[in-house]
Amino acid sequence: MRTQIPVTRAGRSVRVASVAGLALLAGLLSGGGSAADESTGPVSLAAACGTEDGGGATVAARVGVSVDVPATGEVGRPVQPGPVTLTVTLSRADLAGLLPEGAEAFVSRAALKVKVAQNGESTEVPWELHAPSTPLPADGDVALVHSGEVPYVTLRAAGDVDFSVTELTVELRSAAAEPEKTAPPLTTVTCRLNEGENGHLATTRVTDSTGTEPSGAPETPTPPAGGSGRAKDEGIAVEPAAPEDDADPDYCPVDPPVGEMDASKAPQPSPGRPVNMLELPGAFMCANVLGLANVQKLNGAMVVNDPDHPALISVLSTKRISSREADDWEDPEGRGRYLRIDNLAKIELPDADSTFLTFGFQPVTAKVSFETGPMTISIGNIGYDLDAAFSTVYFKQSLRIHDVKVNGTPLDVGSNCRTAKPFDVVLNGGSAYTNVALGGRLDGEVTIPPFTGCGTGGENLDPLFTAAISGPGNRIFMNQAPTCYPAFPESSYCPPAPAELPGTKPKP
């Protein structure tokens, strides 16, 4: 169980370095883990913010951070905070004083500096978040609601790990500027916590693989298993250096996915105030996947993707963020809060070999081709109750059958023996799949449509395949390995880690 931690922060303004050079590490990750620390929150503090150049007076602000952080972790394995929602609230008059005259609507990008400390060592982690277009109202307060996925950290020694906010920067840009363009900000607002406040968010207890706590000096750093995370030399690995030359291997020899996302199968927000939506370029990555597909009528299964030469799934992570914060006064329990992060993915699956006993007695072998449309991977949460967290993968797929043999004798089914129409595939991860970067197991059930185009020379075999295969109750089990992020290979799983066939380990 994870616990949502709302934190309200404030402080004096300080000059904070520009975040324009931050990489798209926000595209790597979203929430994961089990429980967070037992903070009861919210913690409320005064806040003061000013422009980056230090000119003019500081203004009061309210800052809220909502994030779930795993309560436990393991040496050499990623600890994944998030997803994160950051709300910065200023009065209309104060915000207008920070903006150029005539500004009416803007988008904002926020950068939190989060201190990660363990065993006397610490490092700063950039949490980069985005807010959709926000109009400047006639009066009242203005809430800038930022959301996004944040980097994981890999700990190379046992011991408690503390996460705390140190600084905050918000860049405001014209709403007409597209996210991928490098338009200069209208203004940069900087904030700092009050002296005497440590900005603590959560604590994760990290043990070694046997669950042993540290005693004395930290253990010798150990790289993660499975070909993952070539970490820095220090004990806390977060962000690697960029590749030094062009000789690096092509870790993701697949094209970025294209197509439209469809998050209609993911849980939708409750009625109420509109949900803010932000479109982003996305961060390109890839991963291995393996699966099993059951055919209910045939009482058998086939392996999806070739374990010896698997096709990679390509992902554009964090392509769209949909968010709505709860009204603190009318909805104190946060039931109206909604956060969904949509990722676009694609995979070209190789043919699968299948062997079944048709109608219970006739041995049939065949090859099955999968025609898979664009995938939408949606991860999010409704309200503050993390039992309401969700992960959904949706795509359309068609099947084509060829190279059929019945009891060893070839059966010519033609070149276009296929399902009469594409069918919906909806997979759910639950607690087993909490973010794209770390992957996990996804399960679902599909209804296979009737077949058409089967047979040659005037022979119609459509009824045979429809009777033998088509119908509801066909289970799909997929397991995605952690992603390789080729722009930052040293902090991700490059080359892509192998995926395990579902069912080889107990389901969490």
Which pLDDT does position 286 carry in this prediction?
A: 95
Residues 386 and 470 both lie in one domain:
yes
CA angle (17, 22, 25) in 5-degree steps: 140
Q: Is the link from the previous residue into 42 a cis peptide, with omega within 30 of 0?
A: yes
Give me the tens of pLDDT residue by residue for the chain, a chain 508 residues long: 333 333 333 332 222 222 222 222 222 223 333 333 333 334 455 567 888 666 667 888 888 887 778 888 888 777 888 778 788 888 888 888 877 777 777 888 888 888 888 988 888 888 888 887 788 888 888 888 888 778 778 888 899 999 888 788 888 887 765 544 456 788 888 887 777 777 788 888 999 866 555 544 333 333 333 333 333 335 666 643 333 444 457 899 999 999 999 999 999 998 878 888 888 888 899 999 999 888 887 777 788 888 888 899 999 998 898 888 776 656 666 677 888 899 999 999 999 888 766 655 567 888 999 999 999 999 988 876 666 789 999 999 999 999 998 888 898 999 999 999 999 999 999 777 888 888 899 999 999 999 999 999 888 999 988 988 899 999 999 999 989 988 878 767 889 989 888 866 554 4
Same domain, 204 and 290: no
Asked whether residue 180 falls in the same domain as residue 284, the answer is no
Residue 321 and residue 20: Cα distance in Å, rounded?
A: 20
Are 281 and 205 part of one and the same domain? no
Phi (first) and psi of residue 88, to 5 degrees: -110, 120
Q: Which amino acid does the sequence have at 101?
A: E
Give residue 208's pLDDT. Answer: 85
How many separate domains does the chain show?
Answer: 2
Phi, psi of 11 (to 5 degrees): 170, -170
pLDDT at residue number 386: 62
Same domain, 198 and 288: no
367 part of a folded domain = yes
Name the residue range of residue 46's domain: 5-209
Which of 397, 396, 399, 371 has its CA nearest to residue 469? 399
358 in any annotated domain:
yes
In a domain, 346, yes or no: yes
For residue 114, the model assigns a pLDDT of 86
Are 326 and 425 in the same domain? yes
The verdict on residue 222 lying in a domain is: no
The structure's pTM equals 0.64
Which of 182, 209, 236 is where one domain is finished? 209
Q: Which long-range contacts (CB under 8 A, 24 or more apart) does 186-189 make?
A: 186/99, 186/100, 186/103, 186/106, 187/51, 187/52, 187/98, 187/99, 187/100, 188/16, 188/18, 188/51, 188/52, 189/49, 189/50, 189/51, 189/52, 189/88, 189/98
Measured distance CA(498)–CA(314) in Å, rounded: 15
For the chain, the residue count is: 508
Q: Looking at the structure, do residues 196 and 284 belong to the same domain, yes or no? A: no
Do 346 and 442 have their domain in common? Answer: yes
Residue 223 lies in a domain: no
- On the CB side of 339, how many CA atoms lie within 13 Å of its CA? 33
Judge if 72 and 196 occupy the same domain: yes
- Based on the fold, state whether residues 75 and 188 are members of the same structural domain: yes
The β-bridge partners of 160 are 205
| Judgement on whether residues 316 and 179 belong to the same structural domain of the protein | no
162 and 282 share a domain? no
- Whether 216 is covered by a domain: the verdict is no
CB atoms within 10 A of CB 215: 7
**Residue 39's CATH number:** 2.60.40
User: Quick check: is 215 in a domain?
Assistant: no
Establish if 221 belongs to a structural domain.
no
